[in-house]
Chain A
Amino acid sequence: MRRVVITGMGIICSAGRNREEFLESLRLGRSGITRIEGSDICDLRFQTGGEVKDFVATDHMSPKAADMIDRFAQFAVVAAREAVTHSGIELTDELRDTSAIITGSCVGGQATENQGFYDVYKMGKTRVHPMTIPKTMANAGASAISLEYGITGPSFTIATACSSSAHALGLAFMTIRSGMCDFAISGGSEAPFSYGLLKAWEAMRVVSPTVCRPFSRDRNGMTLGEGSAMLTLEALDHALARGAKPIAEIVGFGMSADAHHITQPSAEGAAKALRIAMKDAGIGPEQVGYVNAHGTGTTANDATETKALHLAFGAHAEKLAISSTKAMHGHTLGAAGAIESTAAILALTNDFAPPTINFNERDPECDLDYVPNRSRAVSFEYSLSNSFAFGGLNAVLAFRRI
């Protein structure tokens, strides 16, 4: 099996409009969570979210191109461009013919769909915009990237709720490792700030009415976020042959299903994905230094995830630096796995552990080291990124310093 490395990273989210800004936010513990502006929120029980402020699609693409895709796919294109540029790759005819594009999205272009339904149900219009279907489809991000670069290899989108882009990255990893292709663009994107969807989240009673405080005893829910992260994955030999400098290596991918409950998490299911990821990487628990937690800030997730970390890491769990960066960028659903993998890789390559901000007090059920409030200078060989979705579908990625 071939070794797989990351050669480029691109990101746009509330905590940073590009790689440098995002890294700075992670170091400083700078939050991108503000009052929601992208949707009417007057009757919502929550008022804050992680929005990409002042995003003007036409700063990044022609007005015609921007009209053809929803905000979530616009984010995908912007992140993919940054990653491809970062990788320094020259997309030859042969590479375009074989490269893969594997993205994750949970809700797709639902703001577009929402608008169409609003027009017919509420406004009494008799027709919706003809682009509603192609702008709504969850694979629109992958398709837009394919069009952008003329890539015609295996391209698809995975929808596993909050694990979508972790599964996408894992599949891209497996695709290259198996020898199917040499180069892939993979990650996720999401833009969930529209009224109908926010009402649906409100109804679940899992969104914090105040502040997202992962692992803190006084936590009272998650905060939503939007954005995208895309990585370029490449066979190590291919990257070295073209003189590229790999950023980090993807060494393991673990997947599992809880078979427990449609919304309640399971420690056993999450622990299984963690164990498989470490086994796939050929490493023991004591080799892992940092875990970017799923850490949504809900009562159930954070306690269950802590239990899972105990189960999978044993005594070493207490030595791990663990943080949830969701308190800074929000829960970006289908983009979460990719944004948080980017955080886990930046932590690895810049010798620090990002903080869990907004942390107030220890919870007996969350008894590990969550790097509260301030980032910490620390070096480690391996980092993990956890994604545990509604529906009980789990994905864990393992990264190694190179």
Chain B
Amino acid sequence: MPDEMNPVDSTVTALAGDDLTKRVLRIIAETQRKDQSQVTIDSSFEELGIDSMDGVNIVFALENEFNVNVPDEEVKNIRNVRDMVEGVRKLVDHGNTAPAAS
């Protein structure tokens, strides 16, 4: 569910959300060696030629970028860029941060 719909969230979150979207799109483009213009919030994995192993690779890069842990079950259910953005947003908002690397 988009956070903009949630009255509890302030505009700060909405702005952060835009930034978050951009970062996720950038990570997807970088890991898939695609031009950033090819990756939009509405892109499906099918359109981008992203298979399950690519998905796992992207999630790895996102975990590092946002310092979150994405559960295995979540990864299996992601089918498009929007799912990925919303999934990361949920984890960032809920403070599901990974322990710092020692």
CB distance from B71 to the nearest CB of A (A): 8
Query: Is A264 a contact of B53 with CB atoms below 8 Å?
Result: yes
Q: How far is the CA of A330 from the CA of B71 in the complex (A)?
A: 23
The 8 A CB mask of A315-349 against B (1 = contact, 0 = none) is 00000000000000000000000000000000000
Q: How many residues of B contact A (CB 8 A)?
A: 10
Q: Does B99 contact A (CB under 8 A)?
A: yes
Nearest Cβ on chain A to B48's Cβ, whole angstroms:
16
Q: Is the Cβ of A264 less than 8 Å from the Cβ of B99?
A: no
Q: In the complex, what distance in Å separates the CA atom of A373 from the CA atom of B87?
A: 37
Taking the complex as formed, is A203 at the interface, i.e. its CB lies under 8 A from any CB of chain B? yes
Give the number of residue pairs across the A-B interface with Cβ within 8 Å.
Answer: 22
Q: When the two chains form their complex, are residues A203 and B60 in contact, meaning their CB atoms are under 8 A apart?
A: yes
Q: Is the CB of A378 closer than 8 A to any CB of chain B?
A: no
B72 contacts across to A, CB distance below 8 A = 45, 205, 209, 220-221
- Return chain B residues, CB-CB under 8 Å to A262: 53
What DSSP secondary structure best describes chain A's contact surface? loop
> Does B36 reach chain A (CB closer than 8 Å)?
no
Report B37-82 residues with CB < 8 Å from chain A CB. Answer: 51-53, 56, 60, 71-72, 75-76
Interface residues of A in 205-220 (CB under 8 A from B): 205, 209, 220
Contact A261/B53 with A205-B72, A205-B75 known, Cβ cut-off 8 Å: yes
In the bound complex, CA of A259 to CA of B82 (Å) = 31
What are the residues of chain B within 8 A of A261 when measuring CB–CB?
51, 53
* B56, B75, B99: residue with the most chain A Cβ atoms closer than 10 Å: B56
Is the pair A264, B51 in contact by a Cβ cutoff of 8 Å? yes
Assess whether A264 is in contact with B52, with CB atoms less than 8 Å apart. yes
Rounded to whole angstroms, the CA-CA distance of A205 and B54 in the bound complex is 12
Chain B residues closer than 8 Å to A43, beta-carbon distance: 99
**Cα distance A262–B72 in the bound complex, in angstroms:** 20
| Docked pose: A264 CA to B99 CA in angstroms | 31
Q: Which residues of B contact A (CB under 8 A)?
A: 51-53, 56, 60, 71-72, 75-76, 99
Interface residues of A in 335-369 (CB under 8 A from B): none
Q: How far is the CB of A323 from chain B (nearest CB, A)?
A: 25
Q: Which residue of A lies closest to B59 (CB)?
A: A205
Q: Which residues of B contact A264 (CB under 8 A)?
A: 51-53
Closest CB pairs A-B (n = 6): A263-B53, A205-B72, A205-B56, A205-B75, A203-B60, A45-B72
**Assembly CA distance A263 to B76 (angstroms):** 15
**Does A171 interact with chain B (Cβ within 8 Å)?**
no
User: How far is B70's CA from A291's CA once the two chains are assembled, in angstroms?
Assistant: 37
* A263-306 Cβ-contact flags toward B at 8 Å (1 or 0): 11000000000000000000000000000000000011000000
A300 and B99 CA atoms in complex are apart in Å by: 31
Determine the residue in chain A with the shortest Cβ distance to B73.
Answer: A220
Measured between C-beta atoms, what is the minimum distance from B62 to chain A in Å? 13
Given A203-B56, A264-B52: 16 more A-B contacts, CB < 8 Å: A43-B99, A45-B71, A45-B72, A204-B56, A205-B56, A205-B72, A205-B75, A209-B72, A220-B72, A261-B53, A262-B53, A263-B52, A263-B53, A264-B51, A299-B76, A300-B52
Residue of B nearest to A300 (CB): B52
A329 to B23, CA, bound (A): 43
Q: Which residues does chain A contribute within 8 Å of B71, judged by CB atoms? A: 45
A-B residue pairs in contact (CB < 8 Å), sample of 22: A43-B99, A45-B71, A45-B72, A203-B56, A203-B60, A204-B56, A205-B56, A205-B72, A205-B75, A209-B72, A220-B72, A221-B72, A261-B51, A261-B53, A262-B53, A263-B52, A263-B53, A264-B51, A264-B52, A264-B53, A299-B76, A300-B52
Nearest B residue to A203 via CB reads B60
Report the bound CA distance from A209 to B99 in whole Å: 19
Closest to B99 in A: A43
Complex: A300 Cα to B51 Cα, angstroms: 12
A220 contact set on B, CB distance < 8 A: 72
In the complex, chain A residues whose CB is within 8 Å of the CB of B52: 263-264, 300
- Which of A203, A205, A263 has the most CB atoms of chain B within a 10 A radius of its CB? A205
Which residues of A are found within 8 Å of B99, using beta-carbon distances? Answer: 43
**In chain A, what residue has the closest Cβ to B102?**
A122
B102 to chain A, nearest CB (A): 9
